[in-house]
Each structure stands twice: as structure tokens, then as C-alpha cells.
Structure 1
């Protein structure tokens, strides 16, 4: 096991990189898609709905294959490295789910908060930035944590597009050593540890954000009322 672990660790580092960059892209796409779906212009709302339904309603594996095998063909002729395909595929796929989480969180903010912001003559942008979005983020963090764990586990599929992640390394070592039980048990442990570290990090962030955002929102309303 001492000989196998360093090799699996190399794949683990690739998995962490893909998960981190894919999460950043997913967060960005979730905000973009949510803004598009809530936009006052019908074509923009249509674009947001199409993006969410397509990527949420199709298989992640097929999407990765499409980016990796189809895009280089005519008429697209767009060649992406396996690493880029992994990040783009995971980010776009889980960003669609994240958009629905964010949209639900925005709707969960009590209507009285919106009405108070309107009564204080806040602009639409100020209402969203200072009052609605901070409170929505508190409600979005728990389901977002689950989605990040799903993204982490989803990185195992990138081994099928020749990327040397943790799962790819495990399969290589299994074929070379035939120590199937030892290798895949260790692989399970590594995925579990990564998931638990992510959960601990997000819970810590959630606790701090809950106290900080509530205090910030109350201060913003008080300052606006005083002015």
C-alpha cells in the first residue's frame, strides 16, 4: 500500500484541480443562468431556460463525450484538451443544477424584506445586492454543498476521456497489480475524505456567513432608514 498510495495521490491532485475549477465555473454559470431566467426580456429568459433544461436533462457522460469527440469534427472544429473538457463539462452541467438552487433560494426570501427595501427607495440593483442576495445565499449554501459533493464524485467520469484523475490511476494500478480490493478500497477512502473535508469547509463557511450576512442586512436597512 505504501507503493500504491503515491501513485493514487497523483491522481487525487488532478481530481482536486478539476473539482475546484469546475466548481468555480459552475458557480459562475449558476449566477448567469439565474439572472437570465429572471430577466425582463423574453429572449434572455428563453436562453436561460434552454441552457438549464439541456444540461440538466442530459447525461453528464454524454456531454463530456460530446465536448471531447464531437466538437473537433466539422462544422465546429474546436479541439479542447481533456483537462479543459473536464472543467467545461462539469461546470456547465452542475451550473444548471446550481441555477435552480439559487432561483429557489431567491424566492425563499420573505416578501417583507423586498417590500421594506422598496419602501426605503432602494434601486433594484441595491435591493438585490444588499438585501435579497445575501439572505438567499444562507438558504442556498446547504443544497449547494450537496451539489459540490456530487461534482466531486462526478469527476470520476473524466477518466473515460483519458484524463489521469484518481479513478484513472486506480484502474491503471488494478490492471498492473491485480490488487483490486486494496486499490479500490483505498480509492473509496480518498473520495470519502475529500467529501468530508468539503463538507467541513462549507459548514464553517455557512456558520460564518449566517451571522455575518444577517448582521450586514440589518445594518444596511438601519442605515438606509436613518438616511
Structure 2
């Protein structure tokens, strides 16, 4: 039996799965560890905690969230792989740990196809391109123009190598033909702090992290990665726009 991985929510599906197991074999009779392979405070952590809270409420199970960031998520996923396949260690995986890392690393400490079992789709996330609130940049074109005028001087960050923020940033850099520096962080909160502190010029972050910062006036969102504008930030244009 392979270790269990909750991939990326059908809350009903998860609740039914846990409730079904409980009624069939007295499961669970001890706490279930839910591994999040990223830092506390980021979108994966916050959303995973919302989900595990709901699972606990619906099924009566005790859910313990354990953050294991590092190595682009590989540390946390490897922990899931090494756990006993008894249903008491589950976790969160995303496009980075399940797909992108296969291309970034020569060797992974886990085999996605052989070592992990997907249980349910959890949620879909988009990225927002944000700049500090006091930045002179007010649009994507402004950012492109500034980067071209100051080659090699602007920097952007992301919550780790291989994350959607990193991949999106590199795609943006390539398409716009920009010379900018990428700085990886061990989690989104650290990258956001450096953006707020003026140590980064822009950042691609999940919209769930960006929205409250935009609402509070701490940052300015100049684009979202979705094909259509998002109800979460209806005034922010898509990058295509």
C-alpha cells in the first residue's frame, strides 16, 4: 500500500473518505498528521488548516498539521513517503512537488507515481503580480519599461525554487525579455516581508495571500495570472490585458 497524499478540495469527497474509513474499521483511533511541505503562514498552510479543521468537524478525527518546508517541498513529501502506510500520515502536494520538481532535480527522494496516492483535488490557486504600495510602478507595462531601462537592477522573489511564483516570474522575464534577478525564499511570508521592506521590486504570490495585502493598502496588485479577472480582486487586470 502506498503512502497517502492529498493532492491539491472536494470537501465532501475528503469527508466521505475519512468517514467511510472510520465506519469500516474503527479508523481513526489516534491523531492524523497532515504534512504541509511549506512554511507556516503561506497559502498552502492556511488553506490546509481550513480544510483539516473542516475534516475534523465533519468526521470527529483529530488532525495535526505539520509544516516541513525546504528543498522546494521535497522534504515534506519525502516525509509522507517514509511514513507507515496506515492512513495516519497524509499531506498536501501541488504542481511544484508533483510535477515541476521532476524537471528541476536530477533525483527526487520520492517517486510520485509509485510512492504516493492522490486522494482529492483540494483547490485551484492563481498568482498575482504585486509591487510595494509606494512603488512608482502602477501597471505591468510600467514594470517592463522600468526593468528595460535598468537592466540587472530589479529583483523579484518567490516562495521557493520551482514554485508557481518562480516559474511565472521566469516566464514573464522570458516573454518580456527582461534582465532581472530572482531571489528564492523559504516560504511566501518571508518573500512578502522583503517586498514590504523594499528589498524586492515585485513578487508573484498566490491571490489568497495577495488579496488581504492589497485591501490593507500594503501592496499594489498590477496583474493576475488567470485568463479572466477574479472576483477576489475584480479591479486587477489579467496579465494578458
TM-score (norm 2): 0.22
Structure with greater helix share of residues: 1
Q: Which is richer in strand?
A: 2
With normalisation by structure 1, the TM-score equals 0.23
Structure number with larger C-alpha Rg:
1
